Amino acid sequence: MARPRMFEEDRAVEAAMRAFWTAGYEATSTQDLCAATGLGRSSIYNTFASKHDLFEKSLRHYMDERNATLARLMDGELPIKEKIRTVLWWAVEPDPGDPKGCLVVNTLVELGPRDPGIAELLRRDTAKRVETVRAAIEAARTRGEIGADRDPLALANFVSATVSGLRVAARGGAGRATLESIANVALGAF
């Protein structure tokens, strides 16, 4: 019996994630969540403690998916410049089925300043992503792909900030040419 509920919960979290990603936490109503998930109001509240609980599960789901993809890329065999180019191009040319922007960046702006629990979750997520990229840059530096004078942590923070900026620019309506030009300037750091 637990299996169907778990499937329903996983599906609901994915659908809610997309609703929150599109409109933000505050602008996503319970009715919007019902429409997105196909669940009734009582089913949502029987499965999740609150809208905030569903949002946090959705945000964690988003982070887990993105971080797993990033880790696979950074652990791969490509040269560091190609790895960084791939990361930047995820922001320049996102999946056409995804909402614009980034759920993490959107949440950082919307809830980060006033929700300490979410702010801490975002801080840990950023630290995890930066560390994943830093480790790959450090390994590339050891292999001689980039100069020994380059600071892997500074470069990883730069990549993280650039991707966030690209996501904000895309959500704000920046065209592909603008996004590419930003990404190409950033890629010049490698």
- Which CATH code for domain 57-187? 1.10.357.10
- In tens, the pLDDT along 21-63 reads 999 999 999 999 999 999 888 888 888 989 999 999 999 999 9
pTM across the whole model: 0.91
Residue 8 has pLDDT above 90, yes or no: no
Q: Output the DSSP codes for the chain.
A: -HHHHHHHHHHHHHHHHHHHHHH-TTT--HHHHHHHH---HHHHHHHSS-HHHHHHHHHHHHHHHHHHHHHHHHHSSS-HHHHHHHHHHHHHS--TTSPSS-HHHHHHHHTTTT-HHHHHHHHHHHHHHHHHHHHHHHHHHHTTSS-TTS-HHHHHHHHHHHHHHHHHHHHTT--HHHHHHHHHHHHTT-
In the predicted model, what is the mean pLDDT of residues 107-130? 97
Please report the pLDDT score of residue 156 as a whole number. Answer: 98
Q: Where along the chain do its domains lie?
A: 57-187
